[in-house]
Amino acid sequence: MEIYNNDEQQAEAIKEWWKENGKAILVGATLGLVGMFGWRYFNEYRQGQMEQGAIAYEAIVKQLQADHEKAFAPVAAFVKEHSGDSYGDLAALQLAAAAVKAGKLDLAVEQLQQVADKGNSDPVKPLATIRLARVLLEQGKLEDARKRLDSIKADAYQSMVAEVRGDLFIKQGDKTKAMAAYQQAATASGDKVSPELQMKLDELAVPKTVVTEEKPNA
């Protein structure tokens, strides 16, 4: 604002400035208040939704653990209802694991594919993809499993990817490539080689030839 010679000029200037800009300021202030309280309301609403989702997820997991196959339908309904959020993804993983134990591999594939392709959480999607590849191997769909493994680029999952790739080579009857894949998995794991991976390495290890010294004839 300009510098004025006296209070009267300053007062008149303020009136003129307010006439020109006051409406915009009121609108801006109103929008600011609406935005502030609207954002607060949205956050409170979102928090409430998350809490409700957490409670519902916990209940559905308990039902799955208690009723097993009888709970498959309601859990699947929960997954569909919460499609696109983290609780839906986690419930789908739980349902897939239970479906594998029950021998319902098609259901497991359906749930894992949903998370792998359309999951809400980036860290969860590669995990679902690896589990999906395992199930596809069990179904004998080796090429589909390979494509799924090839799609995972994150370094954090390369140990698991290499191990499942080794399983794929075993299915194909190529023990040499399987051993190389398992060794790659072990290297990527560092000091955290799982007992299952170690067992696979031990089974493919070349047995050492025991050399016995011949005793001279007496």
Residue 103: phi, psi to the nearest 5?
Answer: 80, 10
Q: How far apart are CA 89 and CA 117, in angstroms?
A: 11
Residues 118 and 111: their CA atoms lie apart, in Å, by 11
196 class by beta-carbon count within 10 Å (0-12 exposed, 13-18 middle, 19+ buried): exposed
CA separation, residue 86 to residues 23, 53, 92, 112, 118 (Å) = 44, 9, 10, 14, 11
pLDDT of the chain along its 218 residues, tens only? 444 444 454 545 545 544 555 555 555 555 565 555 554 543 543 455 556 667 888 888 888 888 789 999 999 999 998 887 888 999 999 999 999 999 999 999 999 999 999 988 788 999 999 999 999 999 999 999 999 999 999 889 999 999 999 999 999 999 999 999 999 999 998 878 899 999 999 999 855 444 455 555 54
Walk me through the domains of the chain, giving residue ranges and CATH numbers: 10-152 (1.25.40.10)
Q: Give pTM, 2 decimals.
A: 0.71
Whole-angstrom Cα distance, residue 144 to residue 93?
19
Separation CA 202–CA 198 (nearest Å): 6
**CA-to-CA dists, residue 131 to 9, 81, 183, angstroms:** 77, 23, 20
